[in-house]
A and B are shown apart, each in its own frame.
Chain A
Amino acid sequence: MATPSSLEEAASVESKSWTLRLRQAFDRTLPMDHLLPDRQPYYVGSWVYVFGVVTIAALVWVVVSGIVLSFFGPQWWHDSRVGRFFNSLHFWSVQLFFIFMVLHLWGQYFMAGWRSGRAATWMIGVVIFAVSVLTAFTGYLSQQNFDAQFIAINAKDAMNAGGIGAFFNVLNFGQMYGLHIMLLPIGVTILVVLHIVMVRTRGVVKPIDPEGGERP
């Protein structure tokens, strides 16, 4: 039978458990009703808020089509009809990803989305944009066509002039392809997940002048 002292001992051992403390921290920071809400504030009822979601949807298509391309390789995506279809799917979903990411950026810029403790969310968005540009650049270099060669040969001088040509060699297909299909997409995906979690933690930023005249 447990005595009061043994119960206290058990409780103190439990409070030292890192899994318990981590779980409690998760519960405090991001409860499930914030992570997967079924209701939103009234001001979220605007198409401007859809741009971020469309960007995520485009990213899903980019990753899925990219996985298919990586399985079959350059010969397949140039020579077969299905390969060309997936190559195009990858290319056009990237176009949509960038278009809607920039529209999302415009929307957040004009509503000053960094207010009320959301600066880190904004800055992670900036980093996502930069890493996405690098990912797209290595993607253009990985096409295995004359376009990729043209870009690589023109870009190498800029890289060398910038002092990074020694470890970022745009003429090295293996390096560019490795970065494009492994390191950079993993980086973009992790940052996007972090960005979404931070948005869900704080909620969507209030409009600058909402109904009722409250200002931030």
Chain B
Amino acid sequence: MDTPTTYFHWGFILISVPNLLVIAGMVVLFAIALVAPFPHRKEADDGDTK
């Protein structure tokens, strides 16, 4: 807990590994949200709400 974290250093990019993992997880979650099937109700509306 009290030891300093490790950093990822590539060119001008310097980021801690925990932060990098969070961002990578967010990108993965976003990609899954785009492709994962969403449960539909049969009587779904096909127009705008206004």
Contacts and interface: CB of A to CB of B under 8 A. Distances in A.
A33 to B, nearest CB: 8
B33 interface: yes
A42 B49 contact: no
B46 to A, nearest CB: 5
A47 B37 CA distance: 8
Interface string B16-46: 0000001000100110111010101001111
Nearest to A31: B50
Interface of B is mostly: loop
Given A46-B38, A50-B33, A51-B33, A41 B47 contact: yes
Given A103-B26, A202-B50, A39 B40 contact: no
A143 B26 CA distance: 27
B30 A39 contact: no
A48 B33 contact: yes
Given A99-B26, A102-B26, A45 B44 contact: yes
Nearest to B35: A47
**Pairs A-B, 7 closest by C-beta atoms:** A203-B49, A47-B33, A39-B45, A203-B50, A45-B38, A48-B33, A42-B44
B38 A47 contact: yes
Contacts of B38: 45-47
A51 B10 CA distance: 31
